[in-house]
Structure 1
Amino acid sequence: MSLLKLKLHWQILIALGLAVLVGLLVGRDAGLFGVSFYAIFDFIGKLFLNALKMLIVPLIVSSIIVGVSGLGSSDSLGRLGGKTIGYYAMTSFFAILVGLVMVNLIQPGVVDGDPKEVFGFDADVQALEDTVGGKDGGDVVEVFLRMIPTNVVAAAAAGQMLGLIFFSLLYGYFITRIAEHHARAQTQFFEGMFEVMMRITDLIMRFAPIGVFALVAKTVADTGLEAFGPLALFFFTVVLALATHFLVVLPLLLYFIGGVNPLRHYAAMGSALLTAFSTASSSATLPITMECLEKNAGVSNRTTSFVLPLGATVNMDGTALYECVAALFIAQAYGLDLTFGTQFIVVMLALLTSIGVAGIPAASLVAISIILGAIGLPLEGIGLILAVDRILDMMRTAVNVFSDSCGTVIIARSEGETQVLQSPQPQPV
């Protein structure tokens, strides 16, 4: 069978495996005709990410406006919105609790001997401050301030999705409050924009295996596999906590609240999960997530267009879990025994800061710096986790996307969509 005839998620999975092998073989220095393979991987990976990010703003605006305007009455909007926010708050809290339990049970930062000698706190503080300070993390208060942008165009250009979503919600709501002939023209325009964006998404996804190969090969060539050695226990703790949330908590919610077979949902979301893992960006994965839910899981566009864009911005289960584990690991590495009260502060800050974290690679470093500052730890502690942050970022992004998709399915079922995951759906080629 030709590789091009394989389903997309199989193509992406093969690309992942090849990328690991090629990345280990070529490293950073190997090249051809004076051009390193690393630079080629970097170029192709950036092209793919740029193409995905190009879709984000018009796709979010059109999908939310179409979704909200299609809800009709304010009662429908309030009901769907309440269910969405309630689900996101619940699953993020569950994820943080899973991380809290794991890091206290395993205690990856507790070592024999002097922690300073074992971990060698000699990270370049200025470089870390530049890495973290250069990102628009804000603080907990600014998360809410950014919900109402002073300039919606500037917010879109800066990637401030909270403000863009709030504006789109208002726009879609008031389409239902104007004269019918005006409302029809507005709705048809944004429906047309949404259809165009989905066609462009289909085109870009044909090149997803190539983009995934380049992104993962670059990461492996850069870090190799030996980087996990000193941080193996921390890495294991985060992976075990993410796996627990991914394989236990979310499937139980699907089965008992959504009334659907979790295995069918895993199958339906294959392409989106692999794309999320390779790009480490829930925002960039949004078009694929939407396509998988509508075409593979049978969820209506009415639900996906409202729930998913909101989830890609505010629902970060994996990120919240990681922030909690990372902050407590760093505290353990410094030899601190945090009290219950301090750990509670970490839990609440992880919940709040995960809402405002941008859906892009390494954005959670911003939130972790806020948590470290709140509990009195130096910023250089972030240097302890940088070696494995990229790989863990890819894993937690997949958990973020899967949680969004589970919420969409559960909410769709609660809205009376009986066709969701009730029979195997064809997957896009």
Structure 2
Amino acid sequence: MKLHWQIAIALALALAAGITLGEAPWFLQACSFVGTLFLNALKMLIVPLIVSAIICGLAGIADAGTLGRLGWRTLVFYMASGLLAILTGLLMVNLLAPGIVDGQPAAQRLGLAADTEQVVSGVRERGTGDLVAVLQRLVPANPIGAAAEADMLGVVTFALLFAWALAQLPEGTRRTQQEFWQGVYQAMLRIADLVMRFAPLGVFALVGGVVAKTGLEALRPLAVFFLAVVAGLLTHALLTLPLLLRLVARVSPMAHYRAVGPALLTAFSTSSSAATLPLTLSCLRERAGVSERVTGFVLPIGANVNTDGTALYECAAALFIAQAYGLELGFATQFTIVLMALLTSVGVAGIPSASLVAIALILGTIGLPLEGVGLILAVDRVLDMCRTAVNVLGDTVATVTVARMEGEEILQR
């Protein structure tokens, strides 16, 4: 049975069990035990998966000797479109405020067990609200210590610098290091796949425990969060990216959507930009007329680096949970969330639900508990399908734009 159907069944059973059993001590204890195991498994993945993904992705680009004009145009466009997506998600969550219900933080309705005052105090102690402190944490005195303390700002910076330095090494040493990190990355993907096989149990435990304590009140903020993310994804897909096509690439958005339509439908159904890559390549070459030179370079990078929908979702999820705890979202805190969403979207693998690891990373950086991640799983599957389609659309827009900058005459003028 497909994972999304397993999660859907687990969600339905969790609602039924929570309503039927109520606050039975044995049920709450069992849910707490299983839910904690699942969240700990997500935490276990964070450091090695993100670090190895960033090192493999960026070192591979530099190793190919492609950071010339074509490479820099591609990376600049990807970072710019990702930033626009994140800001769109930021706007939607601030407008709809899914973490606020009737003027009050939704922590109690969502069944978040942590003491909200203690959580806010811990966030302040971490210095997330101080922009200077945030910038200082970008350069860790001890990257191993930063990883142990879940201070991922410094860890991500170290990974970026390591990838750059790796590309400068002699060929033999560089190849050895790349093979090592590629092995770490592939092994972490296997472990991530194993953890996600237990996602239905995690959903049942986390959602069942919440429903048992709060009834169905948790569904309201989750529904608003779902709408905020969908609104953000639609805005990026139907407004931001078409404007980039029209103004930068000088290409008809409608013609582009017709050309890449099969790839978007496949991305939506599979929730994997990596699995959709062959069809995306075919659509852009045969239906849009983009050269093999540009598609062969831009699209494979985009499948791992350009994740507009994922970056938007990560930002929206982190802000939603912060709102639920009553955390005052000042400029420095939101800057931290935007920065981490932009950096971690580079290291998120093109596999289903991988962004849950990145959300856990962002929450840890701010100083928030991971309780909310389990609740997001209840609506994650449909949102995963939507954001993967936006990821692939962003890749195709980047490819066409870079092709036009390179002077290519493509079919969809």
**Which residue in 1 is equivalent to 2:282?**
291
**Which residue in 2 is equivalent to 1:413?**
404
2:267 and 2:180 map into 1 onto residues whose CA distance is 26
1:399 and 1:342 map into 2 onto residues whose CA distance is 26
1:157 and 1:287 map into 2 onto residues whose CA distance is 23
Out of 347, 351, 358, the position equivalent to 1:367 is 358
1:42-191 matched pairs, under 5 angstroms:
78-112=68-102, 115-121=106-112, 139-141=155-157, 143-144=159-160, 145=162, 148=166, 150-156=176-182, 159=185
How many residue pairs get aligned? The number is 287
**Which residue in 2 is equivalent to 1:128?**
none
Q: Which moved more, 1:400-409 or 1:144-153?
A: 144-153
Cα displacement (A) at 1:420: 3.5
Percent of counterpart pairs with the same letter?
55
Alignment RMSD, CA only?
Answer: 3.4
**Which residue in 1 is equivalent to 2:314?**
323
Give the TM-score of the pair, scaled to structure 1: 0.60
Out of 328, 332, 336, the position equivalent to 1:337 is 328
The 3-state SS of whatever aligns with 2:379 is helix
1:320 and 1:116 map into 2 onto residues whose CA distance is 24
Cα displacement (A) at 1:253: 0.4
Answer yes or no: is the 8 Å Cα contact 1:143–1:356 preserved in 2: no
Amino acid at match of 1:413: R
Amino acid at match of 1:102: M
Answer yes or no: is the 8 Å Cα contact 1:409–1:420 preserved in 2: no
Cα deviation code 1:61-91 (max 9, x no counterpart)? 9xx99xx99xxxx8x9611011101101110
Answer yes or no: is the 8 Å Cα contact 2:99–2:221 preserved in 1: no
1:275 and 1:142 map into 2 onto residues whose CA distance is 36
Cα displacement (A) at 1:384: 2.4
1:343 and 1:384 map into 2 onto residues whose CA distance is 22
Amino acid at match of 2:316: V
1:114 and 1:413 map into 2 onto residues whose CA distance is 48
Gaps of 5+ in 1: 1-18, 29-59, 124-132, 162-217, 423-429
Cα displacement (A) at 1:341: 1.1
1:370 and 1:285 map into 2 onto residues whose CA distance is 26
Cα deviation code 1:262-306 (max 9, x no counterpart)? 101111111111111111111121111111110111100000001
Answer yes or no: is the 8 Å Cα contact 2:311–2:341 preserved in 1: yes
1:386 and 1:77 map into 2 onto residues whose CA distance is 38
Amino acid at match of 2:77: Y
2:303 and 2:395 map into 1 onto residues whose CA distance is 7
Tell me: CA distance 1:418–1:146, structure 2 relative to 1, closer, same or farther (3 Å).
Answer: same
Q: Does 1:394 align with 2:382?
A: no
Give the TM-score of the pair, scaled to structure 2: 0.62
Gaps of 5+ in 2: 14-55, 115-147, 167-173, 188-199, 208-215
2:220 and 2:260 map into 1 onto residues whose CA distance is 32
1:142 and 1:228 map into 2 onto residues whose CA distance is 39
Cα deviation code 1:153-185 (max 9, x no counterpart)? 455555569xxxxxxxxxxxxxxxxxxxxxxxx
The 3-state SS of whatever aligns with 2:85 is helix
Q: Does 1:310 align with 2:326?
A: no
2:270 and 2:220 map into 1 onto residues whose CA distance is 24
The 3-state SS of whatever aligns with 1:118 is coil
Q: Does 1:357 align with 2:348?
A: yes
Answer yes or no: is the 8 Å Cα contact 2:105–2:325 preserved in 1: no
Cα displacement (A) at 1:367: 1.1
1:289 and 1:88 map into 2 onto residues whose CA distance is 17
1:245 and 1:313 map into 2 onto residues whose CA distance is 19
